[in-house]
Amino acid sequence: MENLWAPWRMTYILEEDKPEGCIFCLAVDGKGADDLVLGVGEHSLVMMNKYPYNNGHLLVAPRRHLPGLDRLSDLEMTDLLSTVRRAVNALKEVMNPEGFNVGLNLGRVAGAGIEEHMHFHVVPRWGGDTNFMTVFGEVRVIPEHIRATCDKLRPYFADLK
């Protein structure tokens, strides 16, 4: 049997001081996500997913704490989708993926982990990124540390004000 070493996971396992409150609202207030926030604009924000499906997995959310699309203004909706497009373009430039999963889970039964504050998942994909490790071992292999990916992506969102 071979070992897969991921010592940084111990931080997550032992983490006892998880922030209270909504991670997106904390990001807007500049108090959250262990500096994984890439940018906060007038109506939207972008942050790294701390528990990614794949390397470069981003979260794009409206600033306002809303559970769904129906209460977004037209301006917020336009800004949110423009920010999703910006996220896709930044990932294309930095990581050269072969495709993307872009999704929005509304409600717990639809898979929303944080159902009270809607957000898009932007996940870059490459051929073979789901392999035997994921299928048989129920383990995802993330080839680059999240902080390194964050540092590479941050300049693409610096002007998001």
Domain ranges of the chain: 19-157
Rounded to an integer, what distance in angstroms lies between the CA atom of residue 84 and that of residue 4?
A: 33
Catalytic residue among 43, 117, 119, 121: 119
In the residue annotation, 145 being an active-site residue is answered as no
Tens-level pLDDT at each residue, the chain (161 residues): 555 565 555 665 566 556 678 888 988 887 765 689 999 999 999 999 988 888 899 999 999 999 999 999 999 999 999 999 999 999 999 999 999 999 998 888 877 778 899 999 999 998 877 654 454 445 566 667 888 898 999 999 988 86
pTM for this model (two decimals): 0.82
DSSP of 58-114, one letter per residue? EEEEESS--SSGGG--HHHHHHHHHHHHHHHHHHHHHH--SEEEEEE--SGGGT-SS
**Domain 19-157 is in which class?**
alpha beta
